[in-house]
Amino acid sequence: MKILLINQSNGIDFNQNPPLGILYLAASLKKSDHEVDIYDQGAKENKLNYPSTDYIKTFSPDLVGFSLYTFGLPQTLQYIKGLKGDFPHIRIIIGGHHATALPDRTLSDCPEADILVYGEGDITIIELIKAIEKGTNLDQVQGIYYRTNGTIVHTGPRPYVQDLDTLPFPANDLIEKYAYQSEGIEAGKKILNLTASRGCPFSCAYCNKAVYGSAFRRRSPKNVVDEIEYMFERFGYDEVMFHDELFTAKRAWLYELFEEFGKRGLRFPWRCLGKVGTVDYELLSAMKESGCYIIAFGLESGNAKVREDISRKMTNEDIKNTFDLAKAAGLMTYAFNMINHRLDTVDTIRDTYNLMCEVNPTFAPVFICSPLPGSPIYQYVSEDIKYNWKRFNSYRYFGGLPISISSVPPEDLMFLADQMEAFYYSRFRYLSEHVLRSKTTMKTKRLVIMMWFGFSLARIKHLAQDRYFVTTSQPSSSIRFLFKISHKVLKGTVGLFKKSPVFGKAYNKLY
């Protein structure tokens, strides 16, 4: 059977990473002798366009599968409607995080879909296609919803894959046609995106665990290194990004992994996500020695009551100590910061900003928490917009406002997130630690200097406005007046050259 798998984009940004979930499905399908292609709408080459009619005619798939996300969903549902109208013989299968979180609602929103795959699809998709080819009843295929005689049938959940080593490696040959944009901090030339585990036993309030569940399962170190070795040799990768949320959870597993690197003579740069409180200096030093150069941790909030409410059980001291240890081991650090938690106020957001500054990581983006389906905080979305996917769409990608579940109005959330980044990156301590006293590469130092300069312009813009400041010490009215004048002069001057790339970016910071 010919199968086309489509990865939906977020609607406006190009993907930095390939769609690992779909790549695993494609690998399972290829192993079962099906002809498969992947179309990543978010890949830069596709310019956020969906597959054209000519593309569909040329490949002529029997089945088209979509991985659905809440962001960008209305556009994808509209495309599926047109696709089914133009090619009524093609079976439409939907799955992914959004579909698994709200299966009945998703099928209602997408009447053109024939089948919904619920949860992990590696085994389900193979059994499903066998049943379709043989013409047998679909009620024996676990893990799906399907339509029959005007009703929707659920066949019951499929058990999670327990032995992840039995899964084939992702079908990366199908994304060789795409070149994913870089972040500018990579140490290698071509990054291999890899997951060594599935599932998470923790219950963070903002997380959708619908697909992989709470049962933590891990591949063997040998299997992981087999994939690295294979992918490096076949496709020329020379760096690894581990996407596991609990990568540092088990020390023994990590040391086995490093030992496997050594046995095979593998030495390459890699990065990962860590968890506060799971590392010490010895482990971080071993990670650095084995090639790790940057590690990310979730800071999420600088307020203890907010963290307790979102089930992030760690103290400010735990957070500061973890970042200090990583820096002492010679690693760059990355902190995930989030505002718009249920108990957030301007004061608690200021706590988050202050903790960011104390920790002083190399990179500290600020995200506005989105109460997505499948997450515990979805219950706090008001009924009038709970299924209004255009409303979810608009905030992040289409010029609208976020959905606030806190006491802070949506427009102020956007302003504060922008201000937190502007004030954080424009500090002299940031520049000093990450350029003057850092042992990182010149490439990273240049990036930090450019960020510091750009956000310094953004800081001037914010100081020229009479709105909240993330710091409690606000400048006097005369200082604000001077910044207003400076902002107008800079904006006018830089605006004269805004068509050039460098000045264009500077102008956007001032705008």
Which tens digit of pLDDT belongs to each residue from 317-338? 999 999 999 999 999 999 999 9
Q: Which two tokens stand for residue 57?
A: 């005619």
Q: What is the pLDDT of residue 394?
A: 67
Specify the domain boundaries for CATH 3.20.20.70 within the chain. 182-369
Q: Give the separation between CA 193 and CA 24, rounded to whole angstroms.
A: 12
- pLDDT single digits (tens) 125-173: 999 999 999 999 999 999 999 998 889 999 999 999 999 999 999 999 9
Q: What is the pLDDT of residue 239?
A: 96
> Who has greater pLDDT, 482 or 387?
387
Question: Looking at domain 2-154, what is its CATH homologous superfamily?
Answer: Response regulator (3.40.50.2300)
Identity of the amino acid at 441: T
What is residue 432's DSSP assignment? I
The backbone torsions φ and ψ at residue 482, rounded to the nearest 5 degrees and listed phi first, read -65, -40
Q: What is the pLDDT of residue 506?
A: 67
Specify the domain boundaries for CATH 3.40.50.2300 within the chain. 2-154
Average pLDDT of the chain, as a whole number: 92
What is residue 434's DSSP assignment? I
Question: Looking at domain 182-369, what is its CATH homologous superfamily?
Answer: Aldolase class I (3.20.20.70)
Range 169-184 average pLDDT: 90
- pLDDT single digits (tens) 427-479: 999 999 998 877 777 888 888 888 899 899 889 888 888 888 888 777 787 88
Q: What is the pLDDT of residue 116?
A: 98
- pLDDT single digits (tens) 207-250: 999 899 989 999 999 999 999 999 999 999 999 999 998 999 89
Give the C-alpha distances (Å, rounded to integers) separating 210 from 98, 150, 157, 200, 493. Answer: 8, 26, 11, 11, 51
Q: State the DSSP H helix or E strand holding residue 321, giving kind and residue range, or none if neither.
A: helix 316-328
Query: Cβ(6)–Cβ(32) under 8 Å?
Result: no
Q: Give the separation between CA 334 and CA 185, rounded to whole angstroms.
A: 11
